[in-house]
Structure 1
Amino acid sequence: MSGPSRRRFLGLMGGMGMLATGGCVTAAPADPVTDGAVGLRLWTHDPSYTATFQAALGDRSIMRGSAYAPSLEVTAAAGGDLLTRTITQFMADGSPPDLLGVIISEFPRVMKGDLAESLFLDLTEIAEPFGDDLLRRGPYSLNGRLYGLDSDTSISVLYYRPEEFDRAGLPADAATWDEMLEIGGRLHQATGKSIGMVSNGDNTSLYNTYLQSLIQRGGSPFDAEGNLTIDTDESVEALDLIQRGVANGAFLVVGDPYGAAAGAAIKSGLLVALTMPSWYRVYGLEANAPEQAGQWRLRTLPRFDGGGHIASNLGGTGFTVSAVNPGREAALDLLRRVYLTPEGQLLRFRTGGFLPTLRSLYAEPDFTSFRDEFLGGQQSFLEYARAAEDLPEFFLSENNEALTVAIGAPMLGLYDGDLTPAQVIREATDSYRRQVRS
């Protein structure tokens, strides 16, 4: 693998306002360690990733046959801070972390000027043998190359409390969103309760509300080349669903889906269903209402009448490998074993609750036999397997932040009924174009 262009990289950093005075020197890639003991630096925002990698080092079924005997030095910090420090350290002495977990919303930062290819190893070749079996490539791809392996499919499903629907004499198995919105409106009118939530908080929360719906409908904010692709029928239908759900009370408006208001709505029973990714079961439902254990179930999402999927996505963390460190081959070997083997994927689920990113594993007994006690002993992988078979792909762009800012205010107008879906798209597109041109 060729090393990063020092002149190009420093020029890009200077253009980003990150080049410190005093002259930074970016080292060429060091010769890689080819076997034996090697110390690896792991940087992550989530202790579950630390626990997973550390457990893997002691698991013979995963490490059997490796030429390396790695040890880990872990640094934990906020995800955005870790990426900033990675870039800065690369500039300062050419020594970024060997393994870095990049939050999906942060990855567009390294799409600028193709920085990803300077910072990280190209993982395309180790992913290629898996073909379509490997999920969630799009958000970590640049110019057709893959630079991060996602830790979790983050499948968005419908969590619901069946007894609440039964009590109101309403079904929870509606096949389409039109049916579900009608049911949710009736439930809200009779009880004041809602079957979903949308955010009116910061721009990121507003954007994520839209993104989760757009992806399910079969759209994507950008195409594989990074071009904006929100002016579509899919986008209109996604926004229309949100607007109708807010208008009839089926969807509750909260400032932050991870904040106190959402937690209170779950705990009080004001929210009896919601569309969120798999990790929200732990961090949203169980964390806020542990006493509701056994009262929740999950199912695949109702379909849009116009098409799309029975699942969506939100969130994620892609793990990358440094392109320049001497331990890069050892780090790549470890990442492959933990992320691209059945044993590693099972360990990740047992240690951190991460859903497999290999589609075929959803049919394996180790997963299908799992019963989730918080979900009343439900064999949740029977539903996850259906979702994984129909999981949509989507792409991000170096200008993702510009779209996040552009759509915030129009989304508020959508909630209030002041703007139609088409007007939201037009205003967001105009704002985006002004930012990208400036």
Structure 2
Amino acid sequence: MTRTHHPPPTPPPGISRRHVLRAAGGLGAAAALTPALAACGSAAPAEPLTSGRADLAFWTHDDAYVDFFREAAANTTGSPFTWHLRPTRAGAADLVTKTIAQAIAGRGTPDVAGFEIGAFTRLLRGDIAAELLEDLTGHLDPDIRADLLTVRTEPFSKDGALYALDSDAPLVVYYYREPEFARYHLPTDLGSWDELADAGTRLADRHGVAVAAVPTGSDLPQVLQSFEMLLLQRGGRLFDADGTLTLDTPEAEDTLRFLADGVQRGYLTTVSDYYGPSMQAALKTGKVIGQWMASWYKVYGLIANVPEQSGQWRIRPLPVFPGGGGRTSFAGGTGFAALRGKRNTLAGVELVKAAYLDPAEQVRRYTVLGYLPSRRSVFNDPGLTRIEDAYCGGQRMFEVYRDIIDEAPVLHLSADRTILETVLSGYLLRAYQGRTSPREALRNAEEDFRGQTRNRGGS
């Protein structure tokens, strides 16, 4: 496959360690490295590599990305670079901490890094992203930029700059175990959550079976994500485009009421998390026969936990909320970025572009990793539509994704998301238990959040 490579923009100046320290002032990494900063000063601009062999420090939380990028590098022709990856694997949160710490230390930063969307929020505080990451906007052909899904560029953008390209367009769908739906005479095409709730209540009363699960364990990001997926579908947001909390809304109240009613009426069951022993047991015993979740859940949730149920599962668009919203949502994502001011900055940018913008590589990413395209035009690729998924009984799953992609909501991030995870998760659990009303839970969570962010100086 041949790609057209445009001349790269003028390389950026070197990263200023003092600027990074100031931007990261509220982060533990900065405090931990204070003794090492006595000689802190502006780094000299790196002489940029503009062609030839590029040995890239490549950091990721998932080894599958290493294999994908290596093959993309091998597939690419016409580039002034040849890429050789030196991979480092770390947990998603640790990867961000280590990147910031190494930038403050003035050495050892990656050339290319994949930031999981939840961890990326930490880079949005102050000027951290602008100091560490190359703005990709000027590196992109305008036609390609217009073809990228805004719903996938927005989470990795700030102040008009795009800092990473997303690995996926993880649409949320409803997974259902078709033989079990048939056994209980449960329709698979119910149009609204209210209809599914009524049918699910009868199912729970008669058979002790739930149509989905919600996590209530110690993994607070999962507790929040379960709520946020349906909130986005309903048309609500946790944060607006400016990073301001928008929680006390009718959309949020509708969403939380559906979840709390579900737990109390039994059509939803509770598990500690979506991936561990409690969910595995619920799936294996048939106590849970459906779940709203992102496109990647087939691999990481179902195949990982119940491989023996291959052929039994299907997907469909989400049932709708009567009050409004669409038939899908988003959950997850990982943005790959190039670190700015380094010798390999331009080489890193070109690798990310080669792997993530070429239509053929977007198709390969879906066939190899199951990750959906981030370019809208690739959803029209006839080859993707023809793929039949064995685990889902030969279903042409991409037909579902193509049908709902234009209804996908925009997700806005905030540097204070981790505060909200702590505050809101507790109130969600209280609402599930019937200890507070949905409206009170949301209002109290917003009040507590604003108090905590005021105490630390806001976003």
TM range (shorter): over 0.9
Deviation at 1:92, TM superposition (A): 1.4
Task: Indicate whether 1:264 and 2:313 are aligned.
Answer: no
Deviation at 1:132, TM superposition (A): 5.7
Deviations 1:5-55 (A, max 9, x none): 543322233443414214244524412111111111110010110110011
Question: What is the rounded CA distance, in whole Å, between the counterparts of 2:174 and 2:142 in structure 1?
Answer: 32
Task: Indicate whether 1:78 and 2:98 are aligned.
Answer: no
- Map residues 316-395 of structure 1 onto 2, 5 A cutoff: 316-395=333-412
Deviations 1:247-287 (A, max 9, x none): 22111111111111001111111111111111110111111
Task: Indicate whether 1:21 and 2:35 are aligned.
Answer: yes
- Unmatched segments (≥5 aa) in structure 2: 1-11
- Aligned equivalent of 2:61: 45
Deviation at 1:360, TM superposition (A): 2.2
AA aligned to 1:409 is: G
SS in 2 for 1:419: coil
- Unmatched segments (≥5 aa) in structure 1: none
SS in 2 for 1:407: helix
- Aligned equivalent of 1:102: 115
Question: What is the rounded CA distance, in whole Å, between the counterparts of 1:27 and 1:3 in structure 2?
Answer: 6
Q: TM-score, normalised by structure 2?
A: 0.91
- Aligned equivalent of 1:10: 21
Task: Indicate whether 1:236 and 2:253 are aligned.
Answer: yes
Question: What is the rounded CA distance, in whole Å, between the counterparts of 1:347 and 1:327 in structure 2?
Answer: 26
Question: What is the rounded CA distance, in whole Å, between the counterparts of 2:315 and 2:295 in structure 1?
Answer: 9
Deviation at 1:231, TM superposition (A): 1.6
Distance 1:4 1:198, change over 3 A: same
SS in 2 for 1:109: helix
* CA RMSD, Structure 1 to Structure 2 (Å): 1.6
Distance 1:190 1:3, change over 3 A: same
Question: What is the rounded CA distance, in whole Å, between the counterparts of 1:77 and 1:183 in structure 2?
Answer: 44
Aligned length: 435
Q: Is the 8 A contact 2:167 2:371 kept in 1?
A: yes
- Aligned equivalent of 2:434: 417
- Map residues 193-342 of structure 1 onto 2, 5 A cutoff: 193-202=209-218, 203-342=220-359
Q: Which moved more, 1:347-356 or 1:207-216?
A: 347-356
AA aligned to 1:258 is: Y
SS in 1 for 2:335: strand
Q: Which moved more, 1:347-356 or 1:287-296?
A: 347-356
Question: What is the rounded CA distance, in whole Å, between the counterparts of 1:330 and 1:258 in structure 2?
Answer: 37
Q: Is the 8 A contact 2:275 2:305 kept in 1?
A: no
- Map residues 396-411 of structure 1 onto 2, 5 A cutoff: 396-411=413-428
- Aligned equivalent of 2:101: 88
- Aligned equivalent of 1:434: 451
- Percent of matched pairs sharing the same residue: 39
The match for 1:162 among 173, 178, 181 is: 178
Q: Is the 8 A contact 1:301 1:311 kept in 2?
A: yes
AA aligned to 1:112 is: R
Question: What is the rounded CA distance, in whole Å, between the counterparts of 2:439 and 2:398 in structure 1?
Answer: 37
Question: What is the rounded CA distance, in whole Å, between the counterparts of 2:414 and 2:298 in structure 1?
Answer: 29
Deviations 1:104-128 (A, max 9, x none): 1111111111200111011223275
Q: Is the 8 A contact 1:95 1:325 kept in 2?
A: no
Distance 1:128 1:259, change over 3 A: farther
Q: Is the 8 A contact 1:219 1:234 kept in 2?
A: yes
Q: Is the 8 A contact 2:20 2:103 kept in 1?
A: no
Deviation at 1:170, TM superposition (A): 2.0
Question: What is the rounded CA distance, in whole Å, between the counterparts of 1:285 and 1:29 in structure 2?
Answer: 48
Q: TM-score, normalised by structure 1?
A: 0.96
- Map residues 110-129 of structure 1 onto 2, 5 A cutoff: 110-125=123-138, 126=140, 128-129=142-143
Q: Is the 8 A contact 1:108 1:397 kept in 2?
A: yes
Question: What is the rounded CA distance, in whole Å, between the counterparts of 1:237 and 1:338 in structure 2?
Answer: 40
Deviation at 1:94, TM superposition (A): 4.3
SS in 2 for 1:106: helix
Question: What is the rounded CA distance, in whole Å, between the counterparts of 2:170 and 2:44 in structure 1?
Answer: 36
Distance 1:390 1:127, change over 3 A: farther
